[in-house]
Amino acid sequence: MCVDALIARMSHAREPLALGMLLQTSNTVRRPRMNQTSEHNWAGNYRYTAPIVHPSNVEQVQLLVAGATGVRALGSRHSFNAIADSAGTLVALDGLDDNIVIDSAALTVAVSAGTTYGTLAVELQRRGFALHNLASLPHISVAGAIATGTHGSGDRNGSLATAVSALEIVTGSGELLRVDRDSTPDFAGMVVALGALGIVTRVTLDIEPSFAVQQFVYENLPWSAVLQNFDAVTGSAYSVSLFTNWHGDTVDQAWVKSRDGDFSAGAAFFGGSAATAGRHPLPGISAINCTEQLGVAGAWSERLAHFRLALTPSNGDELQSEYHVPREHAVAAIEAMRALSLRITPLVLVSEIRSIAADDLWLSSTYGRAGVALHFTWKPEQAAVEALLPVIEAALAPFLVRPHWGKLFQADAAALAPVYPRFDDFRALADRFDPTGKFRNAFLERTVFGR
Ligand SMILES: Cc1cc2nc3c(=O)[nH]c(=O)nc-3n(C[C@H](O)[C@H](O)[C@H](O)COP(=O)(O)OP(=O)(O)OC[C@H]3O[C@@H](n4cnc5c(N)ncnc54)[C@H](O)[C@@H]3O)c2cc1C
């Protein structure tokens, strides 16, 4: 009996020994923990159709993959669409040891793929090291974040995936393959890979000596000043984010993260005034969940993300979309969104505008071009949001827009292929890693493999 059939029997007939019997083919392999009921993503807007297993070591992952006809990795479940789901089984790596190994001479850290950035950041900081950047939240898994091209902000900061120097991947045959940036051909296609090449079990990342960050918030910046000086605004510090609901003549907030004092804070910033107390990006919500502001210096690990690890990030009851445009089109793309404010503002809780450096990762939204990301935190009204997305995507199409893979979007493979120069190369790479298509799912058929 194949793994899928065994797991199906376990889910429905509650026979927890079945998979254990299968995995006894290796002395070191014990039965992975498995959930019996279907589960949903962080936002609660997507319920996974596949059962979720929690192996406790890499050998279990290899056996699961080798015996499955359909299987995919599940990270910390922070994506808003069906990207992670599988017609077979979902494999969560949260049962593996974090096994964080720092090489202080090579300036790298190796870590289990299911480890969260929050856990990793605490350990790196404790040992005197840093990552170059973080997303808005530290709760996400390393492998899940890099698989979708997750990013923070900063003109000179690439996405989190740009720090990856090596991966260990369980491929379709169950083989454990090590690939690295220096010696593996096509490595640039393997990092932002949407889970389509296999299950990443271990990741090696570039690190650097720890650094301090100060965070300043400014309010009510006139749009005219921001758009006339857009390059100066985003280039004014290590990481800059703008928050808006697209309504009116001002940007609600600018979050300026200064590294080692690279920003001279004053009372005003492009016509906005310095906040006098901590701020949450969403109006009316306490800043208690946010990383410390008001220029109080602290470790990178406690300032680069917007939200604290121990508390709920963002609103909690929300949906998200995000669209990346080439840097040179940023102002025009922003104007296009402002022109849609009558449609967008009633549905949006807040939008965030960030800048990201170019990279060479084939499916990255910043492949071959520096980018600006227009992010939307939506009210949890999925039907209304999905009705609006085609309108937004049509407005951004002239700017060669690329959507965030882990958030809600409407474009299909036919629309996306022309804006990713290495799209066909990625499809060929996936065929090589996974000739029987066991790592594919309906989402990938729609957005990548469908022609
Ligand atoms: C509140 C909130 C804030 C966010 N902020 C940001 C932000 O600041 N910047 C940003 O860019 N995004 C942001 N996101 C989106 C988020 O970073 C992405 O959706 C990311 O993919 C989530 O990682 P995850 O571990 O939850 O992955 P999941 O959602 O569980 O999975 C995502 C994809 O990764 C694959 N995957 C997971 N683990 C592995 C593995 N071991 N091997 C191979 N493939 C794997 C899955 O198969 C799937 O295709 C935010 C999301 C939320 C909910």
In this structure, the answer to whether residues 230 and 365 fall within a common structural domain is yes
* Residue 442 maps to a domain: no
In this structure, the answer to whether residues 128 and 184 fall within a common structural domain is yes
* Residue 434 maps to a domain: no
* Residue 405 maps to a domain: yes
For ligand 1, is residue 76 a contact (CB within 6 Å)? yes
Indicate the residue among 209, 225, 245 that finishes a domain.
Answer: 209
In this structure, the answer to whether residues 57 and 120 fall within a common structural domain is no
* Residue 314 maps to a domain: yes
For ligand 1, is residue 32 a contact (CB within 6 Å)? no
For ligand 1, is residue 148 a contact (CB within 6 Å)? yes
Q: pLDDT at residue 185 above 50?
A: yes
Domain that includes residue 19, residue range: 3-92
Q: Which CATH number is 71's domain given?
A: 3.30.43.10
Q: With DSSP H G I counted as helix, E B as strand and the rest as coil, what are the percentages for the chain, rounded to 5? A: 30, 25, 45
In this structure, the answer to whether residues 233 and 274 fall within a common structural domain is yes
In this structure, the answer to whether residues 282 and 338 fall within a common structural domain is yes
- Cα 90 → chain centroid: 18
Q: pLDDT at residue 313 above 90?
A: no
Reported pTM: 0.93
* Residue 425 maps to a domain: no
Residue with the bigger pLDDT between 314 and 211: it is: 211
Q: Which CATH number is 226's domain given?
A: 3.30.70.2520
In this structure, the answer to whether residues 283 and 403 fall within a common structural domain is yes
Structural domains of the chain, count? 3
Query: 284 pLDDT band (50/70/90 cuts)?
Result: confident
In this structure, the answer to whether residues 227 and 352 fall within a common structural domain is yes
Q: Which two tokens stand for residue 388?
A: 């609006």
Q: pLDDT at residue 31 above 70?
A: no
For ligand 1, is residue 143 a contact (CB within 6 Å)? yes
Rg (CA), the chain: 22
In this structure, the answer to whether residues 243 and 298 fall within a common structural domain is yes
pLDDT for the residue 134:
97
In this structure, the answer to whether residues 60 and 199 fall within a common structural domain is no
Indicate the residue among 74, 92, 110 that finishes a domain.
Answer: 92
Q: Distance between CA atoms of 423 and 426, rounded to whole angstroms?
A: 5
Q: Distance between CA atoms of 434 and 89, rounded to whole angstroms?
A: 16
* Residue 76 maps to a domain: yes
- Cα 248 → chain centroid: 30
pLDDT for the residue 25:
35
* Residue 436 maps to a domain: no
Residue 436, classed as helix, strand or coil, is coil
pLDDT for the residue 27:
38
The number of the ligand 1 atom at minimal distance from the alpha carbon of 200 is: 42
For ligand 1, is residue 118 a contact (CB within 6 Å)? no
For the sheet with 52-54, list strands across it: 33-34, 52-54, 89-92, 71-74
In this structure, the answer to whether residues 388 and 251 fall within a common structural domain is yes
Indicate the residue among 160, 177, 209 that finishes a domain.
Answer: 209
Q: Is 103 exposed, middle or buried (0-12, 13-18, 19+ CB in 10 A)?
A: exposed
pLDDT for the residue 197:
98
In this structure, the answer to whether residues 314 and 362 fall within a common structural domain is yes
* Residue 432 maps to a domain: no
In this structure, the answer to whether residues 388 and 258 fall within a common structural domain is yes
- 307's CB contacts (< 8 A; 6+ apart) are 136, 137, 138, 139, 289, 290, 291, 313, 314
Pocket test for ligand 1, best of 46, 77, 79 (most atoms within 8 A of CB): 79
